[in-house]
A and B are shown apart, each in its own frame.
Chain A
């Protein structure tokens, strides 16, 4: 539309200003730098402190442009593009000598104390400072031999600091404090001695801290996990990924090389993650390199090759006494492949081992089109239920933005929350009271569209059901966005939420079925007491993580990890997104004697692929062995075509689960309410790093606290608590006090809840021990 040329051409569509004669379109409210960045991939104006999420500061003085006033009275003047509001017909110059000289001088100033350590700096190859310095044309500088030096801090396992590289753009502290609401990081000192860091050494506390590596335009903050497996960024193959670690489905850019996945960075999706990732999304990928990741198939206690194990499994399936279990954290095709296999064998299939979890999934599917995460900031009234910040750690970014725009945020919670600072109304409640409190909130008249943000791990299906039934009576545009830690819950459960879990259990508890083939879900990790009381069921597991039952299972088949295969995932909005294969695992070794161990490719080694089969391939192989290939294929195609009206490709913004397909889940009657008593009850304690897969990421997981039972301070002198499961087994946990949590509530990690067969909100009779 707007052509570049010497003679300014007027753009018919948008308002424009002119930079070196080129018409630049802009939107009202944009500044000049912003408009130029939006117009071109590479800005011709160098800059540092401006960041699209944080706006302008005018701190670095790098983005000068010459403004030519139209009044004929004032001479042209140099001004900062990031502080200059874009306005119609503004005449600006960048390419002239005076401006260029200015850019060079500022570069020189910023580089004066900068160490010459680019060859050993992890930022090299993606360094904004390097790019801008080169772009400004600055090459030689004078400096006094003594450079300013800092003692850098040890900031934990995820982020490395090298403070001498700082150019004081203030991006880090603006991100950490203003956007992420972090309290343990700041800017100290003044003049040329400012220091960006913590009060003292120690891991950064914010679940968004990893973004510092991307926000910092130089090598002050770099990715420590990437550093362990470092290769220059230009040596990495990057792809379009989808974060599998929660229901938000942030878009990622995994970077891999030479058979190893080395890092994950953010890939902007305007509706989901415009700028940032949480640390679970950034560092959780390391589960692929977990030391105990299973790589060896076994059957009946003996290690065997995959083909023999498949033979054995197929023979077992042919007996017709097997049930099937899918997984809400596995991709769509893997679930459908297993589902199709169950269908052709006419065997029971469920996506959840727990009927309670299944009922919640049904309610989630029944929700009419939940709003996109990035839309949260547009709501004027928001009710937050549960620990959404622990479940989906990027959400506080949007809530903070909503708060800054004046939104009224109400908070109903059992655990301490960083959202307290944003909430006008903040209630601490036991989980069983959340529903009534939500009801009270709805009872206050709300005239504007509002949003309910629900941590569906803290609540039961009855809450979701009763609230979603009301949606029709709410102001238009209101909605519910549920969050949970499974990356593909709607996709996995679409065909399996009508009492499938109960039927699966009934089948296994009876005499007709004695074998369960589970993909990416370990029944023992879903309901301990039930599983313990049905010890005669043989379990076959297909997974890429060593779950609780792995070592004792009747048969195990390790499969490729999510990033090692393509995948389709439905996020919490019901948006289907595609992830490309991020890498093909391989080992670098001597091609002449591989048994001597790793040997670098660069030194003449060879790459040996170590790719495990995908779940779809395993299902196909089973279907073949059973002589059911064609019927399986047909089934798979049928279920797939029904669900996928159009299929997104990696990098696409995604397609939504059609409304009419969601509608059928609305017919269900209310799940039975649970009895509540006035005594002690349990809620789920979780750390932001926690998620089934991410728990295998060593560096991230090292930040999670040890297992304990947390209670509000001053309630108990005891040092330990014993809780009993219905089957008589018990668990003794150390008691820890947690300020600002609900009274008479024991907050317990998921693994313990499951072992005891407890759900959040269940009443317990704790036995206090010294």
Chain B
């Protein structure tokens, strides 16, 4: 993976030029564009595969190791295919007190796979504080919508809905 991989096939040219624009915008610090590039690529593809990692490294002029350091540090960047949907349930202190552990257990039971793994359709991930502590327990759906507070019933329906979809 430390050797550059071709991204020619998997990243459409329009997207590539958009990424290049973002890098240009960063001026003399192309490495500053790294988070934006990861965000855009993840929105398009659902997660960051090795090819996209290499592409980001190349565009930003930094080593792939540097990009991976960032990806593995931030829980919002996914380096594995999560399936079609991702549910993040906050397990930080306020949500923990408001019942997050129970919700996580439920989600594991319903999805049939451990936390952080995809059952082919979706993944449930524990997450750090979402900044919705006053409405704990909080959840973040598909990287777009927040649900807070998340009730056990709402969780069951959400996951059921996803299962039906598949």
Name A's B-contacting residues (CB within 8 A).
Answer: 183-190, 195, 198-200, 202
Q: Contacts A184-B2, A199-B2, A202-B2 given; indicate if A189 touches B66 (C-beta within 8 A).
A: no
Q: CA of A199 to CA of B66 in the docked complex: distance in angstroms?
A: 10
User: What residues of chain A lie closer than 8 Å to B1, measured between beta carbons?
Assistant: 199-200
Cβ of B166 to closest chain A Cβ, rounded Å: 31
**Which are the 5 A-B pairs with shortest beta-carbon distances?**
A183-B63, A186-B65, A188-B72, A189-B72, A186-B69
Q: Is A190 in contact with B65, judged by CB distance below 8 angstroms? A: no
Chain A residues, CB < 8 A from B2: 184, 198-200, 202
Of residues 62 through 76 on chain B, the ones whose CB sits less than 8 Å from some CB of chain A are: 63-66, 68-69, 72-73, 75
Whose C-beta in chain A lies nearest to the C-beta of B53? Answer: A199
For A200, list chain B residues within 8 Å (CB).
1-2
Instruction: For the complex, give the distance between the alpha carbons of A194 and B73 in Å.
Output: 9
Within 57-100 of B, Cβ neighbours of A (below 8 Å) are at 63-66, 68-69, 72-73, 75
Tell me, in angstroms, the Cα distance from A202 to B68 when the chains sit together: 16
Chain A nearest CB, measured from B70 CB (Å): 9
Indicate if the CB atoms of B73 and A199 lie closer than 8 Å: no
A-B pairs with beta carbons under 8 Å apart, 22 shown = A183-B63, A183-B65, A183-B66, A184-B63, A184-B65, A185-B65, A186-B65, A186-B66, A186-B69, A187-B69, A188-B68, A188-B69, A188-B72, A189-B73, A190-B73, A190-B75, A198-B2, A198-B65, A199-B1, A199-B65, A199-B68, A202-B2
Q: A199: nearest residue on chain B (CB-CB)?
A: B1
Residue with the greatest number of chain A CB neighbours at <10 A, chosen from B65, B66, B68: B65
CA distance A200 to B73 in the complex (A): 17
A198-B2, A199-B1 known; A186+B73 contact, CB < 8 A: no
Q: In the complex, what's the smallest C-beta–C-beta distance from B38 to chain A, in angstroms?
A: 15
Additional A-B contact list (19), CB under 8 Å, known A186-B63, A199-B2, A202-B2: A183-B63, A183-B65, A183-B66, A184-B2, A185-B65, A186-B65, A186-B66, A186-B68, A186-B69, A188-B72, A188-B73, A190-B72, A190-B73, A195-B72, A198-B2, A198-B65, A199-B1, A199-B64, A199-B68
Cα–Cα, bound, A200→B65 (Å): 10
Please give the distance in Å from A316's CB to the nearest CB on chain B.
55
Q: How distant is the Cα of A202 from the Cα of B65 in the complex, in angstroms?
A: 13
Q: Which residues of A contact B65 (CB under 8 A)?
A: 183-186, 198-199
Q: Which residues of B contact A183 (CB under 8 A)?
A: 63, 65-66
Interface residues of B, Cβ cutoff 8 Å to A? 1-2, 63-66, 68-69, 72-73, 75
Closest A residue to B72 using CB positions: A188
Q: How far is the CB of A186 from chain B (nearest CB, A)?
A: 4
A residues near B64, Cβ cutoff 8 Å:
199
Return the chain B residue nearest A193 by Cβ: B72
Give the residues in chain A near B68, CB-CB below 8 Å. Answer: 186, 188, 199
Smallest Cβ distance from B164 to chain A, in angstroms? Answer: 34
- Complex Cα gap A202–B75 (Å): 27
* Residue numbers in A under 8 Å from B63 (CB-CB): 183-184, 186
Q: How far is the CA of A567 from the CA of B73 in the complex (A)?
A: 51
| Min CB–CB distance A173 → chain B (angstroms) | 9
With a 10 A CB-CB cut-off, give which of A188, A195, A199, A200 has the most chain B CB atoms.
Answer: A199
B40: shortest Cβ distance to chain A, in Å? 22
The answer for the CA separation of A184 and B3 in the assembled complex, in Å, is 10
Residues of A within 8 A of B69 (CB): 186-188
Q: State in angstroms the CA–CA spacing of A389 and B1 once bound together.
A: 25
In the bound complex, residues from chain B placing their C-beta under 8 Å from that of A190 are 72-73, 75
Q: In the complex, what distance in Å separates the CA atom of A411 from the CA atom of B51?
A: 33
Give, as a whole number of angstroms, the nearest-CB distance from B21 to chain A: 25
Give the Cβ gap from B107 to chain A, nearest Cβ, in Å.
Answer: 21
A184–B72 CA distance with the chains assembled, in angstroms: 16
Specify which chain A residues have a CB less than 8 angstroms from the CB of B73 in the assembled complex.
188-190
Which residue of A has the minimal Cβ distance to B75?
Answer: A190
Q: In the bound complex, how far is the Cα of B91 from the Cα of A325, in angstroms? A: 75
Contact partners of B66 in chain A: CB under 8 A = 183, 186
| Docked complex Cα distance between A188 and B74 (Å) | 10
Write out the residue numbers on chain B whose beta carbons fall within 8 Å of the beta carbon of A184: 2, 63, 65
User: How far, in Å, is A249 (CB) from chain B's closest CB?
Assistant: 32
A195 to B72, alpha carbons, bound, how many Å? Answer: 10
CB-nearest residue of chain B relative to A197? B65
Cα distance A188–B64 when bound, in Å?
12
Q: How far is the CB of B82 from chain A (nearest CB, A)?
A: 18
**Complex: how many Å from CA A186 to CA B66?**
7
Q: How far is the CB of B143 from chain A (nearest CB, A)?
A: 19
Closest Cβ–Cβ distance, residue B57 to chain A (whole Å): 10
For B75, the chain A residues whose CB sits under 8 A away are 190
CA A200 – CA B72 in complex, angstroms?
14
- Most chain B beta carbons < 10 A, residue from A185, A186, A190, A195: A186
Given the complex of chains A and B, what is the CA–CA distance between A189 and B116 in angstroms? 14
B22: min CB distance to chain A, Å: 23
| A189: B residues at CB distance < 8 A | 72-73
Q: Which residues on A sit within 8 Å (CB–CB) of B72?
A: 188-190, 195
CB distance from A419 to the nearest CB of B (A): 16
The complex places the Cα of A186 from the Cα of B63 at a distance, in Å, of 10
Tell me, rounded to whole Å, the shortest Cβ–Cβ distance linking B80 to chain A.
14
What is the CA–CA distance of A188 and B2 in the complex, to the nearest angstrom?
A: 15
**How far does the Cβ of B8 sit from chain A's closest Cβ, in whole Å?**
17
A183 to chain B, nearest CB (A): 4
- Residue on B nearest A200 in the bound complex, by CB: B1
Rounded to whole Å, the gap between the CB of B52 and the closest CB of chain A is 14
A495 CA to B30 CA, complexed, in Å: 56
Chain B nearest Cβ from A181, distance in angstroms: 10
